[in-house]
Amino acid sequence: MLRLIFQRLLALVPLLFIVSVLTFSFTSLLPSDPVDLIIGDTGTQEQYEIVRERLGMNEPVVVRYFQWLGRAVQGDLGTSFFNSVSVTGAVMQRLPVTLSLTAVSALIAIVVGIAAGIAAALRPRSWVDRFATLGATFGQAVPNFWFGLILVAFFAVNLRWFPATGLTPISASPWEWLRSVTLPAVALGLSASAAIARQVRSAMVGVLQQDYIRAARAQGLPARRVLFRHALTNAMVPVVAVLSFQITVLLGGSLIVEQVFAINGLGTLAITAVRQQDIPMIQGLVLVMVALVVIVQLATDVMYGLLNPKARPS
């Protein structure tokens, strides 16, 4: 297992390098000049040159890239063009908010998806199976931001059970944090649980028809042990790939849901940076999001290796 982790970590180095090159290249090809946005229409040519030199825009693109890469390796992602704050500091300040929202929504997606998939697989072609399939179709069809608005209108505005906007830090009040994260996490997690439920149902139906499951039942093993110890463990092997993909989808979807619930996470920071064409902030956010996706993929490979010994290096 350690060899598998080491191989995956080595493969991440060229991947992150390619992503950094593409990110820096694409942001450098933006049609507008960020210096014009900073000084406005009333700035003089002298002010234009001073700001351009201060931002290092006079250097060639290759030189700017390697200077930025050298600082990024050391943890310095640059400074915002517009408010002179550290990109690393701004991202690290918003990152726990997005991670907590993604983690809770992933937990909801996994619990609801696996439970619905197992219930449908145990009673194929029954009303439970049809209801789970209908719910999964509805969950995949409805956009999470629209579902979030419905949740706010019903549970926050009408019933006043949960706050409509904002996210209380867990350090301030765990109970208020749970109340504030529930609606956005449900809006995110239910759409992902639909895809997980479909995959779990398909995998469980196939596993429950295997000979070793019949043999385990014939030996008189408890039904719960057969289901969770033998059937679900083997059915989770193909489900792990879907889980990994859905978690990365949740990371991207959280950026949109944060706007619906007015949560100051990476989504708000990213949209503000794009509107202002704050190039260092955009570059830093892209690198951080790619790093998060890479960590999720690494965890997926490790989990897949634990579930399937054939996937481990010999």
Q: What is the pLDDT of residues 68-105, one digit of tens each?
A: 788 888 877 877 777 778 888 888 888 888 888 888 88
- The whole-number average pLDDT for the span 250-269 is 82
More confident residue, 155 or 276: 155
Mean pLDDT of the chain: 78
Q: Within 10 Å of residue 99's Cβ, how many Cβ atoms?
A: 15
Portion of the chain with pLDDT greater than 90, in percent: 0
- pLDDT of residue 66 exceeding 60, the answer is yes
pLDDT score for 175: 86
Question: Residue 305: which pLDDT band, with cuts at 50, 70 and 90?
Answer: low
- pLDDT of residue 312 exceeding 60, the answer is no
pLDDT score for 193: 83
Q: Within 10 Å of residue 261's Cβ, how many Cβ atoms?
A: 26
Q: Which of 54-63, 105-114, 134-143 is the most confident on average? A: 105-114
Delimit the domains of the chain by residue range.
24-86, 88-311
- pLDDT of residue 226 exceeding 60, the answer is yes
Task: Give the pLDDT confidence of 269-303 residue by residue, as tens digits.
Answer: 888 888 777 778 888 888 888 888 888 877 777 77
Q: Which residues of 11-49 are buried (b: 16+ CB within 10 A; e: fewer)?
A: eeeeeeeebbeebbeebeeeeeebbeebbeeeeeeeeee
> Of the given ranges (160-164, 209-213, 231-235, 307-311), which has the lowest mean pLDDT?
307-311
pLDDT score for 34: 65
As a whole number of angstroms, the longest Cα–Cα distance in the chain is 87
pLDDT score for 42: 67
pLDDT score for 43: 65
Portion of the chain with pLDDT greater than 70, in percent: 84
- pLDDT of residue 8 exceeding 80, the answer is no
pLDDT score for 47: 67
pLDDT score for 1: 60
Task: Give the pLDDT confidence of 23-62 residue by residue, as tens digits.
Answer: 777 766 666 666 666 666 666 667 667 766 766 666 777 7
pLDDT score for 48: 67
pLDDT score for 128: 78
> Of the given ranges (46-60, 67-81, 155-169, 252-266), which has the lowest mean pLDDT?
46-60
CATH number assigned to the domain covering 88-311: 1.10.3720.10
